[in-house]
Amino acid sequence: MKAFRYVAPGAPLQWAEVPDPVAGPGWVVVDVEAAGLCHSDVHVMDGLIEPVCRPPFTLGHEVAGTVSALGDGVEDHAIGDRVAVAIIAHPRVQAAYAPGIGIDGGYAERLVAHASTLVPLPGNVSTVHAAVATDSIVTAYHAVRTEAEAKPGEVIAVIGLGGLGLNGVRTGVIAGATVYGVDINPDTFEAARAAGARACFTDTAALADLRPDAIIDFAGVGSTTSDAIDAVRRHGRVVLVGLGNRTTTFSGGSLIRKSVQLRGSYGASKDEYRQVLGFVAEGRIEPFVEEIPFADLNQGLDRLRHGTVRGRLITRPTG
């Protein structure tokens, strides 16, 4: 089968023919109908994130498709089932079962997935939308609902209005909060307002007069987290999701004087992913995606690297 393989830091993914996967006991083979492109894959390729697997291996952790083979002992799924592969990070991280992280991922025509990670798709949810929901949507959902604890009547702000940030805006609106957006690029504001943002700004300092109850930083470039601590209300919550910088510096005085809660947020639970699929099925979350040919995968990742993507890129390895 055809796959794009990660071979070394600083190198593009390598197009290769690899053996078809075989499902061992408790595992299934999934024909990959949709795979989302994620900025964290770019971080791996650029050497900013240390991969779990040793190269060469296949990246791609946003995956949905059709079950095509069952290993021994798999009883809850059948050949032909439409499924997505959940990336389970709560209540504990299951990296060993995560495609493109602990095992070969979805930048390939087929992959093996542990049966415990599979989530059946509602009939009116496409594999394209289900794939991006496995990370881009549910990671934002967990950050806003679970870590930031967004509630009806609260004011929250989202920093970074890319793929995750736009989903963070929408999640905050669904939670009943009044949501504001921040991004250095005003071209992102239209999509943020369409997702339900009350207003958008290019400078986090503009939030200070709004006294947000929580600010979720999807950019994570260092200054954004520091600015969020300065702008959030006393006893407010700042949640860091983005990995724009490996380190960040902020004023300990502001954090302490205002009794700000600073939290990190990583991934989500399988149950949260099911909740997100329900919102997609109801039309309350509408993923904004752009499809690219599988052969153009490296070009798509390069667009992510240079920040020229709005929403989420998706490709169809079996298409």
Instruction: Tell me the pLDDT tens digit for each residue of 54-83.
Output: 899 999 999 999 999 999 999 999 999 999
Condensed to tens digits (0 to 9), the pLDDT of residues 120-161 reads 999 999 999 999 999 999 999 999 999 999 999 999 999 999
Find all residues with CB under 8 Å of 36, minimum gap 6, and list them: 60, 62, 63, 131, 132, 134, 135, 136, 289, 312, 313, 314
DSSP letter, residue 298: H
Q: Which part of the chain is CATH 3.90.180.10?
A: 2-135+267-315
Nearest to 138 by CA among 287, 315, 300, 272: 272
Overall pTM > 0.75: yes
Give me 27's structure tokens. 């595992």
The two three-digit tokens of residue 255, written as one number: 């954090």
**CATH 3.40.50.720 domain locations along the chain:** 149-264
The DSSP symbol for 121 reads: P
The CATH superfamily of 2-135+267-315 is Medium-chain alcohol dehydrogenases, catalytic domain (3.90.180.10)
> Is the Cβ–Cβ distance between 119 and 84 less than 8 Å?
yes
State yes or no: pLDDT of 221 exceeds 90: no
Which of the 8 DSSP states describes residue 99?
B
Helical H runs in the chain?
39-45, 127-132, 138-141, 163-174, 189-195, 223-231, 252-257, 270-282, 297-305
pLDDT (tens digit per residue) in 150-187: 999 999 999 999 889 999 999 999 999 999 999 999 99
Phi first, then psi: give them for residue 20, nearest 5 degrees.
-60, 140
pLDDT at 239 over 90: yes
Average of per-residue pLDDT values in the chain: 94
Residue 51 in this model has a pLDDT that exceeds 90: no
* Distance in angstroms (rounded) separating the CA atoms of residues 317 and 319: 6
Contact 248, 225 (CB under 8 A): yes
Query: Any residues with CB less than 8 A from the CB of 134 and at least 6 apart, and which?
Result: 36, 61, 62, 63, 64, 84, 85, 86, 87, 273
What is the CATH code for 149-264?
3.40.50.720
